[in-house]
Amino acid sequence: MKIQEILSELERIESEMASLYEWLSNTFSRDSDAAGLFFRMSLQEKSHASLVRYAKKLVSRSPTEFHDVDFDGASVSELITAIRGFRDSHPEPTLAEALLFAIKVEDHPAENSHRDVIRNSNPEVGRIIESLALADDEHHRLLRAFALWRESVVD
């Protein structure tokens, strides 16, 4: 698969995650702590999507510097379907449901596996994408810490 296609898939994930967190922020608007957490995460995901768009521009300027790589886009579709399905099936989720789902999507293979593929295509762009991985690790940590602070059950 061409690196531009993979980056487009990554951008889809980041945009969908931003939309999820923005929705959760609005859903918990009466809980300033939860709304604030989800709002910050939404802004970070939007920033990630912008970073991916920047990487796409780098690729378009020097397409011969990027190798085609193997990538299974099915995991991306699976993640996006899961996010949309959660929103449809949980129009008013509890905070525990929202946190558990957010942790689940942050742990999803589509959030992680594509980074190795990009790194293999071009190490320079791989370093840019690696910063997303660090931010996603932070998201996971923040969600778990918030859930524990709010005494939600998280396994």
Q: Decide: 30 and 24 in contact? Cβ < 8 Å.
A: no
State yes or no: pLDDT of 3 exceeds 90: no
Rounded to an integer, what distance in angstroms lies between the CA atom of residue 79 and that of residue 62?
Answer: 30
Torsion of CA 138, 141, 147, 148, to 10 degrees: -140
For 92, phi then psi, to 5°, come to -135, 75
Q: Are 13 and 55 contacting, i.e. CB atoms less than 8 angstroms apart? A: no
**All structural domains of the chain with their residue ranges:** 3-149
pTM summary value: 0.83
Q: What is the CATH number of domain 3-149?
A: 1.20.1260
pLDDT digits (tens, 9 = 90+) for 32-67: 999 999 999 999 899 888 888 887 888 888 888 888
The pLDDT tens digits of the residues spanning 83-133 come to 999 999 999 999 999 999 999 998 888 876 666 666 777 777 777 767 666
Q: What is the pLDDT of residue 87?
A: 97
